Structure 1
Amino acid sequence: MLLELMDNINKLTLEQEFRLAIYIKKIYKLDDTNIKKHLIAILKQMMIKDNVIKYFIKNSIP
């Protein structure tokens, strides 16, 4: 049951799959320097998102 739940959580919506396909096309057009810059920016944004989620989880418990 837990595995089924995890499978559903990890699936992308149709809209997300479409956006991913668009990003993939754009990525293949970039050169190595631009790819590295964008990857670093994305990783930083993901870390910030994680911090925001952790903050709200920590502060939502009474």
Structure 2
Amino acid sequence: MNTPGTLSLEQEFQLKILREQVENLSPNQAQEFLLEAMRQLMLKDNWIKHTFKECCLQL
């Protein structure tokens, strides 16, 4: 089992595929891609916070 600070083998593979996909993006496309990735990470953070809050309220 991996520690929280490391990627699984599957995640490493996904990262390699993503790296190959973004290699040829224009600067504008890369900026849009980065902004969308950050938006999705923020949504994930919100979901985790909400889930944790709901979990703690049920105790």
TM-score, L = length of structure 2:
0.89
Aligned-residue RMSD, C-alpha: 1.2
Unaligned ranges ≥5, structure 1: 1-6
Displacement over 2 Å in runs of 4+: none
Where structure 2 has 5 or more consecutive residues not aligned to the other structure, the ranges are: none
Q: Percent identity at matched positions?
A: 32
Rounded Cα–Cα distance in structure 2 between residues aligned with 1:13 and 1:50: 20
CA distance in 2, matches of 1:57, 1:28: 37
Asked if 1:16 is matched to 2:14, the reply is no
Aligned to 2:45: 50
Partner of 1:3: none
Moved more, 23-32 or 7-16: 7-16
